[in-house]
Amino acid sequence: MAELADIENEFIRDEIEEFLERPDEIARTIETFANTAPEMQTIAAALIDGDNDAVDELTKEALGSGTEALEIMDDGLISGMGVVGIKFRENFIFVPEVLACARAMKAGMAYIEPILSASGVDPIGTVIMGTVKGDLHDIGKNLCIMMLRGAGFVVHDLGVDTSDDEFIEAVEEHDAKVLGMSALLTTTMPNMGKTIEAFIDEDLREDVKIMVGGAPVTQEFADDMGADGYGKDALACVELAKKFAEEEDEEEF
In eight-state DSSP terms, residue 123 is P
Q: Are 45 and 80 a contacting pair, CB within 8 Å? A: yes
User: What residues from 179 to 218 belong to the interface with ligand B12 (CB under 6 A)?
Assistant: 180-182, 184-187, 211-216
Query: Residues in contact with ligand B12, total (CB under 6 A)?
Result: 39
Burial of 209 (0-12, 13-18, 19+ CB in 10 A): buried
Minimum CB distance to ligand B12 smaller for 112 or for 240: 240
Name the residue among 116, 30, 34 with its Cα closest to residue 71. Answer: 116
Q: Around Cβ 89, how many Cβ atoms within 10 Å?
A: 10
27 binds ligand B12 (CB under 6 A): no
| Amino acid of residue 165 | D
Q: How many separate helices (H) and strands (E) can be counted in the chain?
A: 12, 5
The one segment of 92-100, 148-156, 163-171, 198-206 that binds ligand B12 by CB under 6 A: 92-100
If the CB atoms of residues 130 and 252 are measured against ligand B12, the closer one turns out to be 130
Task: Tell which one of 31, 71, 88, 156 touches ligand B12 (CB under 6 A).
Answer: 88
Distance of alpha carbon 73 from alpha carbon 108, whole angstroms = 8
Among 144, 151, 176, 178, binds ligand B12 (CB under 6 A): 144
Sole window of 35-43, 55-63, 84-92, 243-251 interacting with ligand B12 (rule: CB under 6 A): 84-92
In the complex, the smallest distance separating the C-beta of residue 2 from ligand B12, rounded to whole angstroms, is 21
Contacts of 126 (CB under 8 A, 6+ apart): 153, 154, 155, 156, 174, 175, 176, 177, 178
Of 62 and 143, which CB lies nearer to ligand B12 in the complex structure?
143
Which helix (H) or strand (E) is 213 found in, with range?
strand 209-213
> 37-76 mask for ligand B12 (x: CB under 6 A)?
----------------------------------------
Compare residues 176 and 234 and give the one whose CB is closer to ligand B12.
Answer: 234
- Counting Cα atoms < 13 Å in the Cβ hemisphere of 191 gives 24
Position 132 contacts ligand B12 (CB under 6 A): no
Q: Rule CB under 6 A: which residues touch ligand B12?
A: 78, 81, 84-85, 88-89, 95, 98-99, 102, 134-141, 143-144, 180-182, 184-187, 211-216, 231, 233-234, 236-237, 240
